[in-house]
Structure 1
């Protein structure tokens, strides 16, 4: 929902920047917004994906109101039971009792979670209370109880159909879920679609057909909406729309630099525009038109954003590198991945590093290059998502595209941070486990 504001007294913070509410410089893109609106009219599930701060949540909020959705903010410790329980609770279904029952199968992995769900029966009784004064009507809602298995998608669908559920289930931050939970949900999506229950999934990744890799039966049952790429003309429209609202304009040089430094990320564009206005001392719409052309104010805005990003990225890189202590004995591969990332050209990082190239780069700087095997690289790259989740790196910095075999940076603020930081200073902040290990052996 857009912020309510006086058009003659518009605040910069309502026009530019990254925030929960939709900023006024939002633009609709044919290849994204129109496709999303068309998808809403189908009976397919919708998957919105792209890198961090590229407008996934904003797109959803623009076209789906709070009254039309049941929102689940996914977190790493979510399982099927907690997700489905939340959906039912938010839909007005009460969980009367909870019974956990372990049923052993041949692999000891089959489990059932039975509950008694109280389904509201609206409109059953209308009762009148009071007399001439203070007369009031009270609507009484009756419930009926049924026993369901909360781990079974069909049971969930039957309950939702029983209450005439007609909202979208939104699974935001789907990428935080364990791979096994993602896979389970991918299979449940088929059941939900057959039962008329629609799901919108938002996740941070860049490859197509992510869910189809878990369940090939989803082909033609989901509509994918990539929010990337943002083109220069899109950025121009955003900047020009915001500037018009604030009665200001940016010089072509400043606009081009903002676009170049954003690495294709709308979040960075928004933040640089906001900080540039603040650097000029502009907080509200200007009564008289003003042109921003001095590059020193853009440099000030850049420095502010570098400082904002430094703490997160230094901590995140250090946390990933520190995982080396608990990784393959003596290889310290997480540390070397971090080192390669920091030393790589940011343009190469933007397009992603192919696995063979990454393997060779690590061998070039590794203290025991002959020990770095392909299998070790596979274990590291396939576990990178879980490693970042375990280290509470939210949103994640990296994603390994298994179909394209490419390591990608999915938080462009890291590219921005590396672009304007001294890489030697960054590496100095990351303890080298090889040195620490050698020193420990002396004692």
Structure 2
């Protein structure tokens, strides 16, 4: 029974997907918080690997509360990452040239904090900056010719650089960042990389010099840990969820804590439970969960129709490869849940696609898969659903909400129409 001296907790304060951590339903699976906290003191880069909505951001907020966070989008470069990170510190970075890990350019303070940082680092490097008075603060401009200067600025700030959504970077930019990470490690500036990738140790694969310098931590959920979300949140709201409701929700969230949080939120909405209960209340009607899943799928309808439209529009612009793209999407989207979670191999996609259309060649198909991510995102570089892992040569689902949506969706995907159009026009298989 909740205390009369405080207001009852609201359901949305306990369950759901939120930008801030909801402590009453937060679960430290496998003591991961403590493990990462220890790693932060071990002078290593940390790579947090996990699918969309698996709790990476909440975890990062818990273990690195004052992070210097840069969000990646498709088309962003490594230099953009440095610009945004320094911008958060009140420093503008202008680069005139770059070669390997050597940078030539300038940094200029745009805020008082930036002035102090540049002054400290410039003195260490033996530089003499100039300061001129402005209306609000001093402006300090300093030439730089080494990544080490940027590393020192970040380290001197006392904040940890966190690069989120690493998977949105192109393969070339991922590789460049992997080599920069070795240099940053040499400069004792340690970075946390957060993203989605299906293979192990992607950064070491991109740059073998990172061996023993980066620790990769997969963020995965056991059924037991997912069940604890019900237990912790239920206790906060004075609720008891039945074993049937818990088991069905855990099965239908596909190992994803974010999806589970949304399903529980939906169940409570269907049950009319808006706040902490005065007496222990049982939630044992599985039909409430079924209704919540249907409503969730309906909400996702717009998301995946836009996804399908973006992909279709992108495919139509590839006049010399329309059929290859369309057949590839048809095969991928027909794969089972387990296949999409584990990664559908290029060889399997080719085998099925080639059986459907003998003109498809494996080399061209591989090139198409390498470009498939660019078809999916919006103008802001967001919205990735499927990702291609070049190291393992597999396509996997980044957004597992797709799997729940497929379970209830009745709208057909447009790939077959595109295939028919390509066949009628007699094109779409000659190249990429």
TM score, norm. by length of structure 2: 0.84
The answer to whether 1:426 aligns with 2:409 is no
In 2, the alpha carbon distance for the partners of 1:343 and 1:80 equals 35
In 1, the alpha carbon distance for the partners of 2:17 and 2:251 equals 18
The answer to whether 1:191 aligns with 2:183 is yes
* Correspondence for 2:284 among 269, 272, 293: 293
Could you list the per-position Cα deviations for residues 114-159 of structure 1 after superposition, in whole angstroms to 9, with x for gaps in the alignment?
225356348x9xxxxxxxxxxxxxxx9877643114xx42231244
Match of 2:37 in 1: 37
Report deviation, 1:386: 3.2
Could you list the per-position Cα deviations for residues 8-60 of structure 1 after superposition, in whole angstroms to 9, with x for gaps in the alignment?
51111111111101122001122632321111111111111111100111100
Superposition pairs of residues 36-435 of structure 1, within 5 angstroms: 36-66=36-66, 69-93=67-91, 101=96, 114-118=105-109, 120-121=115-116, 145-149=141-145, 152-160=146-154, 164-228=156-220, 230-327=221-318, 329=320, 331-365=322-356, 369-389=357-377, 394-422=382-410, 425-427=411-413, 432-435=417-420
Contact kept? 2:300, 2:405, Cα under 8 Å? yes
Is the alpha carbon distance of 1:389 and 1:71 closer, same or farther for their aligned partners in structure 2, counting shifts above 3 Å?
A: same
Could you list the per-position Cα deviations for residues 202-235 of structure 1 after superposition, in whole angstroms to 9, with x for gaps in the alignment?
112222111122211111111111112x111001
Could you list the per-position Cα deviations for residues 385-440 of structure 1 after superposition, in whole angstroms to 9, with x for gaps in the alignment?
33334676734111223333322112110011111223xx323x557123334666
Report deviation, 1:181: 2.0
Contact kept? 2:70, 2:164, Cα under 8 Å? yes
Could you list the per-position Cα deviations for residues 349-394 of structure 1 after superposition, in whole angstroms to 9, with x for gaps in the alignment?
33332222211222233xxx22111101210222223333467673
Query: What SS class does the counterpart of residue 295 from structure 2 fall into?
Result: helix
Contact kept? 2:346, 2:366, Cα under 8 Å? no
Q: CA RMSD in A?
A: 2.9
In 2, the alpha carbon distance for the partners of 1:374 and 1:38 equals 45
In 1, the alpha carbon distance for the partners of 2:425 and 2:394 equals 35
Is the alpha carbon distance of 1:377 and 1:328 closer, same or farther for their aligned partners in structure 2, counting shifts above 3 Å?
A: farther
Contact kept? 2:346, 2:394, Cα under 8 Å? yes
Report deviation, 1:244: 1.0
Contact kept? 2:239, 2:283, Cα under 8 Å? yes
Could you list the per-position Cα deviations for residues 83-137 of structure 1 after superposition, in whole angstroms to 9, with x for gaps in the alignment?
2222223224456xx5x6569x9xxx99965225356348x9xxxxxxxxxxxxx
Contact kept? 2:328, 2:365, Cα under 8 Å? no
Is the alpha carbon distance of 1:355 and 1:222 closer, same or farther for their aligned partners in structure 2, counting shifts above 3 Å?
A: same
In 2, the alpha carbon distance for the partners of 1:102 and 1:272 equals 50
Match of 1:134 in 2: none
Query: What SS class does the counterpart of residue 74 from structure 2 fall into?
Result: coil
Contact kept? 2:103, 2:144, Cα under 8 Å? no
Match of 1:136 in 2: none
Is the alpha carbon distance of 1:306 and 1:290 closer, same or farther for their aligned partners in structure 2, counting shifts above 3 Å?
A: same
Query: What SS class does the counterpart of residue 52 from structure 1 fall into?
Result: coil
Is the alpha carbon distance of 1:284 and 1:355 closer, same or farther for their aligned partners in structure 2, counting shifts above 3 Å?
A: same
Is the alpha carbon distance of 1:7 and 1:239 closer, same or farther for their aligned partners in structure 2, counting shifts above 3 Å?
A: farther
In 1, the alpha carbon distance for the partners of 2:249 and 2:236 equals 19
Q: How many residues align?
A: 400
Match of 1:19 in 2: 18
Report deviation, 1:261: 0.7
In 2, the alpha carbon distance for the partners of 1:159 and 1:34 equals 28
**Unaligned 5+ runs, structure 2:** 120-135, 427-432
Match of 1:131 in 2: none
Contact kept? 1:121, 1:144, Cα under 8 Å? no
In 1, the alpha carbon distance for the partners of 2:104 and 2:46 equals 28
In 1, the alpha carbon distance for the partners of 2:422 and 2:216 equals 47
Structure with the greater alpha carbon radius of gyration: 1
TM score, norm. by length of structure 1: 0.82
Contact kept? 1:44, 1:223, Cα under 8 Å? yes
Is the alpha carbon distance of 1:80 and 1:268 closer, same or farther for their aligned partners in structure 2, counting shifts above 3 Å?
A: closer
In 1, the alpha carbon distance for the partners of 2:349 and 2:107 equals 53
In 2, the alpha carbon distance for the partners of 1:143 and 1:393 equals 33
Could you list the per-position Cα deviations for residues 329-354 of structure 1 after superposition, in whole angstroms to 9, with x for gaps in the alignment?
25522222322233333333333322
In 1, the alpha carbon distance for the partners of 2:69 and 2:321 equals 44
